[in-house]
Copies of this chain bind each other. A is one copy, B any other.
Amino acid sequence: MKVAVVGIGYWGPNLVRNFINHQSINEVCCYDISKSRLEVACDRFPMITTVKTYDQILNDPMIQAVAIATPVATHFDLARQALECGKHVFVEKPLTATAKEAQQLIDLAQDKSLRLMVDHIFVYNGAVKKIKEIIESGEIGEIMYFDAVRINLGLFQHDVNVIWDLAPHDLSILGYLCDKDPEAVSAIGKRHFSELEDIAYLTLLYEKDCIAHLHANWLAPIKMRVILIGGTQKMIVYDEMETTEKVKVYDKGVEVTGREGVYKTLIQYRTGDVFVPTFDTVEPLACAVSEFVNSIENNTVPLTDGHSGLRVVRILEAAERSIKQNGAIIGLHED
């Protein structure tokens, strides 16, 4: 199979490397608007071929699939053209700049019977897959809350704010782990150095009392990547910055033991052992590339298909609207 990679900036070379390493891929063709970036790629990966225009990719009947790692604003057009030319498409997160665009790509792929996949990389991370397994086993009970902190100094993006940059990771993890969709979004963000928010807090409201909260920050002195998942039976801490003990399952909880009068609920705490499971440490991008190639070869729906991408974009869009309205609650089902 021959694939094309479009956009060889920060993330693109990782795509190139993983496509090269995949046994079903026998040619990787690259394109970037920057000639110098293409040259650097050729130095590093002498086996790739390059083209000078995107049209060359679109018109090459040998190219079955296109992977897009360009700025968000360009995702839609590039993906649309590729789909229209009959190519399967793999797009970096977030899938598109608007939900409307995402829906159009989904429809187009459907019409053409092509695969559309978004690179929600953390869904292919061994730690996250292990957490999914634990949640599905039922041992943590009902999820009461999901709290994610994803902060560090920089990398300021020029095209999107901190929410569009960092939150897709947590939103895709959340969408993967949690079987219910949020009802509404509220977000507050502040900008200090440019026209784009560099710190933001995003809250997702669910049916009943489940809540999810994200702290995304480009201005933090320390790098934190911590997700807390509070279940009614057990609780999970996923700390991506830990060298090996990234996932911890706490046998901790609260039990209602009775009531005293109308207002006083009697409560007891339970503190048991902690369990730190091992998990598979294959490079997540290799898994994602495999998933994409498999979905083409076997005509299956990839785990992170267009709908996953759409769900995340819909939340991002609502969050942005909420930020502009100072944290107003934006329903997710109205449109």
| Closest-CB distance, A222 to chain B (whole angstroms) | 6
Copies per complex of this chain: 4
Residue of B nearest to A329 (CB): B326
Stretch binding the partner chain, chosen from A75-83, A189-197, A290-298, A307-315 = A189-197
| Closest-CB distance, A240 to chain B (whole angstroms) | 11
Contacts of A191 in B (CB 8 A): 209
Q: How far is B245's CA from A273's CA once the two chains are assembled, in angstroms?
A: 9
Contacts of A250 in B (CB 8 A): 221-222
Cβ contact within 8 Å between A220 and B235: yes
Whether A40 sits at the interface, judged by CB under 8 Å, is: no
Tally of contact residues, A, Cβ under 8 A: 68
Whether A10 sits at the interface, judged by CB under 8 Å, is: no
Cβ contact within 8 Å between A193 and B276: no
Q: Which chain A residues (140-199) contact chain B, with CB distance < 8 Å? A: 144-145, 147, 149, 151, 153-154, 156, 158, 186, 188, 190-195, 198-199
Given contacts A154-B254, A190-B145, contact A245 B274 (CB under 8 A): yes
Contacts of A236 in B (CB 8 A): 221
Contacts of A219 in B (CB 8 A): 144-145, 230, 235, 254
Residue of A147, A219, A237, A277 with most chain B CB atoms under a 10 A cut-off: A219
Cβ contact within 8 Å between A190 and B215: no
Given contacts A193-B256, A199-B145, A219-B230, contact A275 B273 (CB under 8 A): yes
Cβ contact within 8 Å between A221 and B213: no
Q: Which chain A residues (6-47) contact chain B, with CB distance < 8 Å? A: 46-47
Residue of B nearest to A203 (CB): B188
Stretch binding the partner chain, chosen from A54-62, A90-98, A104-112, A259-267 = A259-267
Contacts of A113 in B (CB 8 A): none
Cβ contact within 8 Å between A278 and B273: yes
Query: In the complex, given contacts A153-B271, A186-B188, A223-B243, what are 8 additional A-B residue pairs having Cβ atoms less than 8 angstroms apart?
Result: A156-B265, A158-B263, A186-B186, A193-B267, A199-B211, A201-B203, A213-B215, A248-B276
A→B interface (CB under 8 Å): 46-47, 144-145, 147, 149, 151, 153-154, 156, 158, 186, 188, 190-195, 198-199, 201, 203, 205, 209-211, 213, 215, 217-223, 228, 230, 232, 235-237, 241, 243-245, 248, 250, 252, 254, 256, 263-265, 267, 269, 271-278, 326-329
